[in-house]
Structure 1
Amino acid sequence: MNDQNRNLILATALSFLVILVWFLLFPPPEPQVADPNTPAVTALNEDGTEMALTPPVADASDTPQLATDAETRASILSEAERITIDTPAVSGSISLVGGRIDDLSLNNYFETLEEDSPTVTLLSPVGESEAYYALYGWAPAGDLGFEDVPGANTPWQIESGDTLTPETPVTLVWDNGNGLIFRRTISIDEDFMFEITQSVENTTETPVRMAPYGIVARHGLPSDLQNFFILHEGVVRKIDGTLDEIAYDDLPDLDFIQREGTPAEVIDVTENGWIGFTDKYWMTTLIPGEQQPFTSVTRYVPSSDIYQTEARLPTMTAAPGQTTEIRTQLFAGAKEWETIRDYQNEGGIARFLDSIDWGWFYFLTKPIFWMLHTLNALIGNMGVAIIALTLIIKAVLLPLAFKSYVSMAKMKELQPEMEKLKERAGDDRQKLQQGMMELYKTNKVNPASGCLPILLQIPIFFSLYKVIFVTLELRHAPFFGWLNDLSAPDPSSIFNFFGLLPWAAPEPGSIMALLFIGILPLLLGVSMWLQQKLNPAPTDPTQAMIFAYLPWVFMFMLGSFASGLLVYWIANNTITFAQQYTIMRSQGFKPDVFGNIRSGFQRKKPEEK
């Protein structure tokens, strides 16, 4: 390996180590404690006067308090009459107070791998520490007032249906007592898509005007917030073909809009938009109809620590004796690739797949994930699929790798000549460079050709890391034996001799877990060390020392990474070793692996230093 390749590898490795050390020394801050309140939202009438989309809280008695130890979720849910949600994918209920969708669990996803683990809770009612819900209503316009339209606390009645299933929609009704009858029909599919049809029947003799809206509100930050630079958490929205993301931390810094009363961002969307909140694996998104213009609103309410997204639709007119209705959708569930793809391709939700955080290298992460997903479907084991994907990537890069290793082999042959050049040039760096360039030209060797495979590996590695860290399909995906979750660190540990001793391994993320690493990090260190031994140690003592320590530094630093990523890296190192050894031998150069290992353990005599 020539000096240029060594310096490139060294610079890449050290840069990677700097990033890792930074996040170990400066971990993200703890999430804030939530303080729930009823969201209050304002907009403007056509005449410029302010209107409220949801009535403000009248007094403290109207604001539900946080649940105490004595108040269970069931007791909070029992405070209002509810409609049961029962589908193969989700379960929960809808409150008749405000018609809120505020109780939703994901039937096929569990908090942990324990047998008695509860299912993942996505939406929760006001009163719980992390209230998170969807709310619909109408904003009054013209001569109408707050009391004439349904809002956050409207007492709805059941008109039809008592359980929401994919086969049985439910309809809520509310008569305002002044000639307007509001209905809300809610249906759901087999997965995570709600359809909400809001209508108003005008039995008066005068036309009425009002604007429908949808809100997703979140009280406080989620307790499972990752706060990791590679992952987006917060608002995700599509605005006329443009995907936009706003992190939770950035919401309080939005421009203060006087008529909104809080930090907010208001954008008019002409067609094909959506807005909501995304977490690592779950998402809740408001989706107006296809080609439907609306106003996309993102806000933060500092006084009550509420994060809020809104879809405000244009003002509608209900003529006397007529009924006006509007249909929108709500996605509330897991970010399953196939499910979201179907909603995009078959449901007409433009660019909905982009709600999955593919990152800067989306042109690599998307095909890499597709290939990994396809291999997993064929093989039935995600760990084996990762190894198969590594083989495919190495096969695609083989022509470049072949040129690189051939160049390395030729550089080895030229090593004696290069040493003679160094002796003749002495301290004259210019003379040495000229001599080396002439030597390369005479022997038709390109020292830079060995750099290209290394450079290509960097974006591929980060893309695969992104896929493993972000995509839901890796969550709780088993490999074999003790590796039952490829999205989590290796749970084995030297501390209990990999499970043979009768005490538990250190908690993941702790200092002890970083020190007492598992089997996969050890294999990673050994594979990197063996790969180094294909080449003699650098003649420069400083470089030699750094390269000698790099495998073991990476072994400890990457020990807390997702085990799926370590599986990829170990497989990649093993395949690279076999490729390089075979290609270099085919070019007449036999790497002395065992000799290089022995020389690494031999100490120089004082007179040789």
Structure 2
Amino acid sequence: LATALSFVVILVWFVLFPPPEPQTDPNAVAIVETGDTATGTDMALPPPAADADAAAALDPEEATAVALSEAARLPIETPELEGSISLVGGRIDDLSLRQYRETLAEGSPIVRLLAPVGGEEPYYALYGWAPGGDLGFDQVPGANTLWSVESGETLAPDSPVTLVWDNGAGLVFRRTIAIDENFMFSVTQSVENTGAGAARLAPYGIVARHGLPGDLQNFFILHEGVVRKSDGQLDEIAYDDLPDLDVVPREAAAAEIVEVQADGWIGFTDKYWMTTLIPGADQPFTSVTKYVAAADIYQTEARMPVMTVEAGQRVDVTTQLFAGAKEWETIRNYQNEGGIARFLDSIDWGWFYFLTKPIFWLLHNLNVLIGNMGLAIIALTLIIKAALFPLAYKSYASMARMRELQPQMEKIKERVGDDRQKMQQEMMELYKREKVNPASGCLPILLQIPIFFSLYKVIFVTLELRHAPFFGWLNDLSMPDPSSIYNLFGLLPWAAPEPTSLLALIFIGVLPILLGISMWLQQKLNPQPTDPTQAAIFAWLPWVFMFMLGGFASGLLVYWIANNTITFAQQYIIMKRHGYTPDLFGNIKSSFTRKKPEGK
């Protein structure tokens, strides 16, 4: 009860006092250090002061539109993505997901993943070369370089594009960008040395985010922020923890630098979307996580080793960029067929990953087979209950035997009186003689706890539950039940409270009520405890859970209601087969009957 109350207090606190929106500095400058030379360059493209003032007067959508129109662009068109590449810096900074909409409302816009500087929530991928040796920043392409199109008009699955830039001093840089039918970009950076001397330089890739994402969940069971793999080690750094990294003077930022020998990747993950830099499987690189406080920029980098390009030579380096939805099947294919090691771990499976992974695999395949996620959850519940049936059988059989021993237990209590030690000894002898384990009834409950939390994790974090309909009013199993007592479940002409409001915690919907009733009926298979305090606690428990879980995802409530219903049927049948018929209606009646005080 204390845990439940604490949970409610935390929810109420975040509803009443949400964290303040971050203030983003439009004049953003970040630092790159690579190879044997520490170098600084503009990693963001700050607008002139007059343009910044004008952008501030626009709403976010208008500001984004203005930012997109300020530079020449190459369009991106795939079955899953649409957007454009800016020729200023060659940035991939305009990307939307065609198959996903922001809400279920009719006409809702598609989800925007990446956005340009000067627009709403700048978030982009940037590639370039860091100078080494005698080269200067004006001799290598960076954030502000104006590229030309050498080939291609639209980036599509069968149509790569190539950008070119000549530094005028003997180095010709090219960038060829290809894309598949899902969310994977392939970026090949090349440099051709037409000069007389050797050149030293290093390619890099950056994913930068200005300020915190507007749809940040800030929920304790969900990781949002940096996700990276370094030589087989998976690491997660939350957005809130990035400012607390050690300040690296040469980076001029809070940063963490990891040298990766092989099989690494790094990027940002949100609840449903991800943008990740992926060097080649055998490619060593420097994996960098940083936060530039002066500009409020969160940044991940993949820095390749410094290369020496002799006169007349050409060097090519290919890396990948995942930018899209965290679809389990798509990411699994990139891992198994594309050779991206442990890429499925980019989905936040949590501490119980050994349960969440197989549970989701089974749920996904049931959904493919049945075609309805709600029915798939019910089928999953049946399978889990069938797997636990041997333990449940022993548990309920033991409970039935305990009921049979009730008269003998009462006789022991009468014989020993208040001698608790003697009563415990005789009870244990009775259990041993009759071969009954009083604790066996707890085992199925203990096993249900990690399964419940694992399923909660699956429903909360996996994309496949987002906007997944069931029947009737349940059109998104990842969200709370939208029905409400507040408007008599749609009979009254006003809307139900928003799911995030305090009223939604009080005016619950149909599923929480069904959950409370199913728990209450399951409780009535057994008589009320003789102890008044225990009886009062048990009487209130279903209704406390009903309100406490009212704001949880409706898919989770579907599971729990189905689980309670199946458990009720199992317990009733098994106990009846062992000679004890639960007096369901008698127990229900007794819960509404007040006992008369003694002597009256």
Calculate the TM-score normalised by the size of structure 2. Answer: 0.96
1:559-609: CA deviation from partner (whole Å, max 9, x where unpaired): 111000000000000000000000000100000010100110111212279
2:482 alignment partner in structure 1: 491
2:215 alignment partner in structure 1: 224
1:213-239: CA deviation from partner (whole Å, max 9, x where unpaired): 000000000111000011000000001
CA distance in 1, matches of 2:437, 2:127: 66
Q: 1:541 is aligned with what amino acid?
A: P
2:502 alignment partner in structure 1: 511
2:592 alignment partner in structure 1: 601
Q: 2:528 is aligned with what amino acid?
A: A
Q: CA RMSD in A?
A: 1.8
- What secondary structure sits across from 1:447 in the alignment? coil
Distance 1:394 1:45, change over 3 A: closer
- What secondary structure sits across from 1:577 in the alignment? helix
CA distance in 1, matches of 2:178, 2:305: 23
- Quick one: which of 284, 288, 298 aligns to 2:279? 288
Alignment of 1:62-461 (within 5 A): 66-69=55-58, 71-461=62-452
Per mean C-alpha deviation after superposition, the further-off stretch among 167-176 and 33-42 is 33-42
Checking the alignment, whether the CA contact within 8 Å between 2:272 and 2:463 is kept in structure 1 is yes
Checking the alignment, whether the CA contact within 8 Å between 2:204 and 2:303 is kept in structure 1 is yes
Distance 1:21 1:59, change over 3 A: closer
CA distance in 2, matches of 1:400, 1:608: 46
- Quick one: which of 33, 38, 55 aligns to 1:50? 38
CA distance in 2, matches of 1:559, 1:62: 50
- What secondary structure sits across from 2:186 in the alignment? strand
CA distance in 1, matches of 2:411, 2:39: 86
CA distance in 2, matches of 1:587, 1:63: 81
CA distance in 1, matches of 2:356, 2:46: 50
1:34 alignment partner in structure 2: 24
1:542 alignment partner in structure 2: 533
Distance 1:118 1:527, change over 3 A: same
Distance 1:59 1:45, change over 3 A: farther
Q: CA deviation at 1:500?
A: 1.7
CA distance in 1, matches of 2:265, 2:497: 43
Per mean C-alpha deviation after superposition, the further-off stretch among 17-26 and 598-607 is 17-26
Counting matched residue pairs gives 595
1:6 alignment partner in structure 2: none
CA distance in 2, matches of 1:582, 1:371: 28
CA distance in 1, matches of 2:4, 2:354: 22
CA distance in 1, matches of 2:29, 2:75: 24
Per mean C-alpha deviation after superposition, the further-off stretch among 260-269 and 64-73 is 64-73
- What secondary structure sits across from 2:407 in the alignment? helix
Distance 1:352 1:58, change over 3 A: closer
Distance 1:283 1:289, change over 3 A: same
- Quick one: which of 11, 18, 23 aligns to 2:11? 23
CA distance in 1, matches of 2:475, 2:20: 28
Q: CA deviation at 1:29?
A: 2.4
Q: 1:24 is aligned with what amino acid?
A: V
CA distance in 2, matches of 1:55, 1:368: 42
CA distance in 1, matches of 2:286, 2:5: 44
CA distance in 2, matches of 1:20, 1:575: 29
Checking the alignment, whether the CA contact within 8 Å between 1:508 and 1:560 is kept in structure 2 is yes
Checking the alignment, whether the CA contact within 8 Å between 1:193 and 1:332 is kept in structure 2 is yes
CA distance in 2, matches of 1:58, 1:109: 30
* 2:512 counterpart of 1:524: no
Checking the alignment, whether the CA contact within 8 Å between 2:34 and 2:303 is kept in structure 1 is no
CA distance in 2, matches of 1:55, 1:342: 32
Q: CA deviation at 1:76?
A: 1.6
Distance 1:55 1:512, change over 3 A: closer
Gaps of 5+ in 2: none
- What secondary structure sits across from 2:489 in the alignment? coil
1:144-195: CA deviation from partner (whole Å, max 9, x where unpaired): 0000000011011111111100011000001111111100000100000000
Checking the alignment, whether the CA contact within 8 Å between 2:34 and 2:202 is kept in structure 1 is no
CA distance in 2, matches of 1:56, 1:463: 40
Q: 2:28 is aligned with what amino acid?
A: T
CA distance in 2, matches of 1:30, 1:117: 26
- Over the matched positions of the two proteins, sequence identity in percent amounts to 73
1:316-344: CA deviation from partner (whole Å, max 9, x where unpaired): 11110111110000000000000000000
Q: CA deviation at 1:38?
A: 3.4
Checking the alignment, whether the CA contact within 8 Å between 2:230 and 2:264 is kept in structure 1 is yes
Q: CA deviation at 1:15?
A: 3.8
Checking the alignment, whether the CA contact within 8 Å between 1:236 and 1:243 is kept in structure 2 is yes
Checking the alignment, whether the CA contact within 8 Å between 2:64 and 2:120 is kept in structure 1 is no
CA distance in 1, matches of 2:555, 2:63: 37
Checking the alignment, whether the CA contact within 8 Å between 1:67 and 1:129 is kept in structure 2 is no
1:8 alignment partner in structure 2: none
Checking the alignment, whether the CA contact within 8 Å between 1:43 and 1:52 is kept in structure 2 is yes
Checking the alignment, whether the CA contact within 8 Å between 1:33 and 1:221 is kept in structure 2 is no
Q: CA deviation at 1:21?
A: 4.0
1:125-145: CA deviation from partner (whole Å, max 9, x where unpaired): 001231000000000000000
Per mean C-alpha deviation after superposition, the further-off stretch among 375-384 and 409-418 is 409-418
Checking the alignment, whether the CA contact within 8 Å between 1:490 and 1:518 is kept in structure 2 is yes
Checking the alignment, whether the CA contact within 8 Å between 2:576 and 2:582 is kept in structure 1 is yes
Distance 1:30 1:582, change over 3 A: farther
Distance 1:166 1:394, change over 3 A: same
- Quick one: which of 466, 475, 494 aligns to 2:466? 475
Q: 2:430 is aligned with what amino acid?
A: L
Checking the alignment, whether the CA contact within 8 Å between 1:358 and 1:467 is kept in structure 2 is yes
Q: 1:296 is aligned with what amino acid?
A: S
Q: 1:500 is aligned with what amino acid?
A: L
Q: CA deviation at 1:96?
A: 0.4
Alignment of 1:562-581 (within 5 A): 562-581=553-572
- What secondary structure sits across from 2:159 in the alignment? coil
